[in-house]
Structure 1
Amino acid sequence: MASLFPKTLTPIHFLHRTRPRIRTQTHPSKLTSIRAMSSGSGQRVFQLRLDSLTGNSEWVIIDEHDDQSFTEKFRQPLLATTSYLDMLNDSTRNRAYREAIEKTITKPCHVLDIGAGTGLLSMMASRAMGGKGTVTACESYLPMVKLMKKVLRVNGMEGRIKVINKRSDELEVGLDINSRADVLVSEILDSELLGEGLIPTLQHAHDNLLVENPLTVPYRATTYGQLVESTFLWQLHDLPNNEAGARDGIRLNPPGLDSVLGVKRQQYAMYCDPIEGEIKPLSEPFKIFEFDFSKRPESYGETDLCIKATNDGRVHAVISWWVLQLDREGTIYYSTAPRWISSPTNKTGPVDWCDHWKQCVWFVPGCGISIFKGEEIQLLATHDDTKISYNLDSKVPTTDVLHHGLTTGDMQLVLSPERAAIYGDREWRLSMLKTVESVLQGRGDSLCMVADDSVFLPLLVAQLSEAPHIISLLPGLKERGLQYLQAAANANHLPPNCIEILGKRVKQLTTQDTHQKKVDLLIAEPFYLGHDGMLPWQNLRFWEDRTTLDYILSEDALIMPSKGILRACAIYLPDLWKSRCCLSKIEGFDHSVVNDTLGACGHLPEMEEGPCLPFFVWQCGEFEVLSETFDVMEFDFSKPICHCQGKSQVQFTKTGVCHGFVLWIDWVMDLQNSVVISTGPDKRYWKQGVKLLASPRTVGPQESRNVQASCSAVLEALFDPLKGELKITTDFR
């Protein structure tokens, strides 16, 4: 994300998790961390908790030597929405590393494990040396260090592996380690390959921590790409052309502001197999970069490729992946290629679905580039320390000069691809148009307040109002949102000064801010910056804000949306369920002690409930809906926020294996219930909440002759507004 996005969810004190296994679009209980030294000999990590309902945050402290404090402060799974659990459940990855380590480390030596996590690779290395030699496990994130020590203790490895709670570039020979290491084992790779700091980590290690010509596992990584045509991928970034046919008359990227609102020019991790039917390959796979771990890499590299088109079409994107060669001889591989790619680039063949490594998508600017079969096109690929970029010479300017002399870089708002697609979606915009037209009808000189971070609604209300007076709060966008809305209003020929941006917290507002007027319309999409990766009900912040603003609302004030409906359905989801299972033995090492902290869902002890997790369900591997969609409960925004609960009987429509339930919120925009914005699993621009079962259940319709099918289930939900939590329980009978 660009710098205007809040960084409240990024662990900023460590280098090797920027892909994050602790994710940046995550649940509010997930934490920002800053490391500091305490007054004693121990170390402390300050963790930032974000309350999604209020936008407030508080700092709490984890002490290195205080396990009781650690447990009490984080009763909920601390790392539940990270990819650590999924990674440890990746048996293909684990087996490849184990085989390569056993093949590479054949005698006692000094092994350095960078980004050690739970210590799995360190234990493999120690076992390969028969418990002799020296293993140094370097891990910078304190909660993970605490978890690693538990794993080592359970496996009798505590005295055989030296654990250092530092970044690798903070290690010093003679102070932290006695000598340079003979072997480097590491897994500091993200879906793009470089995003976890692979290059600077290897540079520092070769300069300061490793012997000359060290052995390494992995040995080499190679990135590959393919040119593709895909309308879906185009819709995820080209807002100007997608909004061109909208009926509302608003242009979020009008002439003169062509690039001021859009997605960042970068690679985006995406599981591409589900959209294989919507992807037309326009080239053969091609090799891009090769990185040899046994040598010091360069910070910058470029490859100029001449690619021949294999089909007529329009190049909308470059899909890329990497192949990991784990041993020097080239017999052990791991690939992140999509399933339609075959040898030689996908040397391992299709692997099981996983969440920690996906393919990457680079969007070609604008409408893409037209190409004919047999035609050649130049692709320039470059890399720096942390990312890979492409240039297809699309002749799209990277910086536009606005009419009033500013460049787009001065005020550019960066959207997620899904948010850009929503703003360009004609059906979504038509729904908003109908609702706003309805609420404005007969209202005349009304004061409208936009409570969230929407940049579309203020412009739409101003366009449709006879005497527009709009106050926009922009709790996340703030100053950049102000600059954008002022320029966009002018470019859309709206009345001057019709949109006022306050930039205050809701609790700080007074009637002075509304010029002693009551608010007649309180509206939202709802959309809050930084909530893209969270659970659907965390946008109930709108309800909290509406409650706080009650004293400045007029008696007949209209609220949009008028209510939210929590909906759900039963689902067959084997890949995701497998990736979130409780761990036991991994290549012979007991990992059962990590299950609680990592938020395991499958194979839980009886009566235990796993966490509800945010996912794009369509990105979760194989899935099938097994029941009717059913309503669980409603949130009535005409009233102050309150406790809610609901219980629903599940009506199964298919016989199959149920792995859990998908939950989402449908936003009812108007009082007549005529306009509903759904965020369900058939909508690919919103994440849903997934509640996985401890044990899969065979289910089927009541009239089914399959006597083994469990035909009766109840789902119950309880919403606590004080904590902003939604508790989901299931009962199969």
Structure 2
Amino acid sequence: MMAARAMNSSDANKCPGAMGIVSACESYLPMIKLSRKVLRTNCMDKKIHILYKRSDELKVGADLASHADILVSEILDSELLGEGLIPSLQHAHDNLLVKSPQTVPYRATTYGQLVESNFLWKLHDLFNNESEAMDGVHLVPTGLETIMHAKPQQYSMHCDAIAKEIRLLSEPFKIFEFDFWKRPESRGETGLHIKATMAGKVHAVVSWWVLQLDSEGTVFYSTSPRWISTPANHDKLQTQFPGSEDWCDHWKQCVWFVPGGMSISKDEQIHFQAVHNETSVSYNLKYDNRRTEHYTTPVEMCELVLSPERIAVYGDRKWRYAMLTALQNILQGKVNPLCVVVDDSVFLTILAAHLSSTSHIISVFPGIKEIGARYMHAVAGANNFSMDRLEVLGRRTQCLTMDDTNQRKVDIILGEPFYYGNEGMLPWQNLRFWKERTMLHSVLSDDVLIMPCKGILKACAMSLPDLWRSRCCINNIEGFDHSVVNETFGACGDIPASSEGPCLPYFIWQCGEIEELTEVFKLMEFDFLKPMSPCFGKTKVEFNQTGICHGFALWIDWVMHAESSTILSTGPDHRCYKQGVKLLSKPVAVGINGLRSILECHSIEIEASFNPSNGELVVKHSFS
């Protein structure tokens, strides 16, 4: 629409041949329908030709009347290349554009910086973190240091949220430059010598990109972290970082983990190698004059690739000690117990085998399946147990019968709970553990022990202005009415009072500006000692801060062992877990009782109900 308006502006009319046709392509049918609604609302449906195709399916003479003079695109992710920028540009230059087209954007440049951060270290270096736990469990034994690891890739992250935990070990450096106005190469490589500005250990490379929108170099957009200063002059490398003060959810910085970390001295030169293919970028760091540290690579078929957050959980000494304590209490007095690990927890499988030499263990591993079985075979020797005592099913628990247990009743059910592939979902979707336990009801012994034995739904009212704005209704965008999209998107803000705001899985610590407005409170309990059933909870809490309430953070605390009060929390203080964020349709001004203004609410009543048939949690609230 901006392109059509620009071509039909009074300035354009003064130029012969300035009038033209805008063709837009989109391969997702719901978005096509929504686009046409927006065009009709703005009386532009006659000025723009929308094609229900991918750009690489377009053909001149069929879809386009002639080769296009101008290319306008925004197919960028936080890494820049992940949405197919390179192959899309290649096809456009080969087939759709004139020889010397104009493009918006004109150019993109990626930058990086070497950093030290214990938090980032814990997200990928399981071997060195595990060595400090000293609990006898070896998820990554010596010689198999990378048998369990995070995928070597760039991870998008709001690095400003951990800026106080980051030490910058180099100046920013330019990595790649991609020109939209010419055909890009499928593969590129660059080698740099980076001088360390201080001594430390390089745990990661933080990277970002800068867009030059116009050919003259007057309009820029950057995804740089806030510690990069705002430029006054774009001619030098150090000043090519436009300020990005506004928090946004669509683009973040990227983090590339350096395996094992790399110790460096001040002024030392590091050889930095970057390689890109059509959709991603990878990095490699080497010492200029020293031997490079490296890990032994195991047989690929045994590798278990997990999220960085799961790697951090498995390396956390407090988490491991809590699991150890709870399972020791459960196994106490048990002779030849039959244990079933219903989720994808290789940790609990190894721990149970380690703590009880007489136990027989059935691990379901519904997500990791055969890989989990091969992994257990590879690490069994290092953990001093025999695979004769361990059986991996690799299927869902509803298939488990007395035939699978050799006609024995199950004595112990275990779970973290952790389900491979569920990391991006809402916290209560891990109540799948309760469903799995229920499916096993017919094969459970009368005195079966279950870990965790209970789940507690916790909540806290919060001020989340940045996250709320990112999900707010859109209306006038650059002079165009977009309000017709709000109902489809399920946005917050200017919606009917009866409408509910969305519930999102999100890391609270990455939400930009945040503030807790109430104490943490219990909303509901789930009793895993009994079969799955509907649950309801209701409570009223007072606000202990004055501010604007945008919604609630919700999470589950897992009671691993009631008698020892071993509880594992997944709340906002634990950054390796996503919380559920229930956003309000409209923000509410709140205050402390006795100190509030007449316009402020001082308490809130919240109720929640859990439906086991569909696994949905419904949260309702009222302010007073």
Shared fold by TM > 0.5?
yes
User: Which has the higher mean CA deviation after the structures are superposed, 479-488 or 145-154?
Assistant: 145-154
CA distance in 2, matches of 1:647, 1:531: 27
Partners of 1:228 and 1:280 within 8 A in 2: yes
Q: Does structure 2 retain, via aligned residues, the 8 Å contact 1:100–1:332? A: no
- The question of whether the paired residues in 2 share the 8 Å contact of 1:602 and 1:692 is answered with no
Does the residue aligned with 1:463 lie in a helix, a strand or coil? helix
1:81-134 deviation digits (Å, cap 9, x = unpaired):
xxxxxxxxxxxxxxxx9699959999879xxxxxxxxxxxxxxxxxx9999521
The answer for the alignment partner of 1:358 in structure 2 is 252
Report the Cα distance in structure 2 between the residues aligned to 1:298 and 1:222, rounded to whole angstroms.
15
Question: Is the alpha carbon distance of 1:454 and 1:107 closer, same or farther for their aligned partners in structure 2, counting shifts above 3 Å?
Answer: farther
Aligned twin of 2:138: 251
Tell which structure's C-alpha radius of gyration is larger: 2
Shift of 1:497: 1.9
Contact 2:7–2:18 (Cα < 8 Å) also in 1: no
Q: Deviation per CA, 1:320-356: give whole Å up to 9, x if none.
A: 0000000110001100000000134554313310111
Q: 1:102 to 1:152 in 2, by over 3 A?
A: closer
What's 1:529 paired with? 420
- Structure 2 counterpart of 1:444: 335
CA distance in 2: counterparts of 1:170 and 1:399, whole angstroms: 45
Structure 1 residue runs of 5 or longer lacking an equivalent are 1-96, 110-127, 402-406
**Quick one: distance in 2 between partners of 1:593 and 1:199?**
32
- Tell whether the 8 Å contact from 1:103 to 1:327 is kept in structure 2 after alignment: no
Please name the residue that 1:83 is paired with: none
User: One-letter code of the match for 1:369?
Assistant: M
Match of 1:220 in 2: 107
Pick the aligned partner of 1:665 from 556, 571, 587: 556
Give 2:515's match in structure 1, choosing from 599, 624, 634. Answer: 624
2:286 match: 393
Give, as a single letter, the amino acid of the residue that structure 2 aligns with 1:450: V
Retained in 2: the 8 A contact 1:649–1:715? yes
> 1:209 maps to what in 2?
96
Counterpart in the other structure of 2:30: 143
> Aligned AA for 1:387?
S
Match of 2:198 in 1: 311
Contact 1:105 1:129 in 2 (8 A): no
Q: How many residues align?
A: 612
Which 10-residue stretch deviates more, 191-200 or 502-511?
A: 502-511
What does 1:189-204 align with in structure 2 at a 5 Å threshold? 189-204=76-91
Distance of 1:314 and 1:294 partners within structure 2: 39
Partners of 1:234 and 1:683 in 2: CA distance: 16
Alignment partner of 1:412 is 2:264: no
Does the 8 Å contact 1:380/1:390 carry over to 2?
A: yes
Give the aligned partner of residue 397 of structure 2: 506
Partner residue of 2:501?
610
d(CA) in 2 for partners of 1:362, 1:141: 31
Q: Does 1:639 align with 2:526?
A: no
Aligned AA for 2:283?
Y
Amino acid at match of 2:246: D
CA distance in 2, matches of 1:420, 1:496: 24
Counterparts of 1:678 and 1:671, CA distance in 2: 14
The one-letter code matched in structure 1 to 2:599 is Q
> What does residue 594 of structure 1 align with?
485
CA positional deviation for 1:596: 2.0
CA change 1:591–1:258 in 2 (3 A) is same
Matched residue SS, 2:139: coil
Residue 709 of structure 1: CA displacement? Answer: 2.5
Which of 607, 611, 618 is the matching residue for 1:727? 618
Distance 1:527 1:451, change over 3 A: same
Q: Deviation of residue 166 (structure 1)?
A: 1.5
Q: Is contact 1:222–1:291 with CA below 8 Å preserved after alignment?
A: yes
Write the distance in 2 (CA, Å) between the matches of 1:330 and 1:103.
21
Match of 1:291 in 2: 178
Q: 1:369 is matched with which residue?
A: 262
Provide, for residues 228-274 of structure 1, a one-character-per-residue CA deviation record: whole Å limited to 9, x for no partner.
Answer: 11111000000000010213200100022211100111111000001
The 1-side partners of 2:3 and 2:488 are apart by 28
Which of 216, 232, 246 is equivalent to 1:329?
Answer: 216
**Aligned CA distance change for structure 1 residues 212 and 716 (closer, same or farther; 3 Å):** same
Q: Distance between the aligned counterparts of 1:104 and 1:273, measured in 2?
A: 42
Matches within 5 A, 1:572-591: 572-591=463-482
Q: 1:451 to 1:706 in 2, by over 3 A?
A: same
Q: How far apart, in 2, do the equivalents of 1:296 and 1:233 lie?
A: 36
Q: CA deviation at 1:639?
A: 1.1
Cα deviation for residue 439 of structure 1 reads: 0.5
User: Which residue is equivalent to 2:51?
Assistant: 164
- CA-atom RMSD in angstroms: 2.1
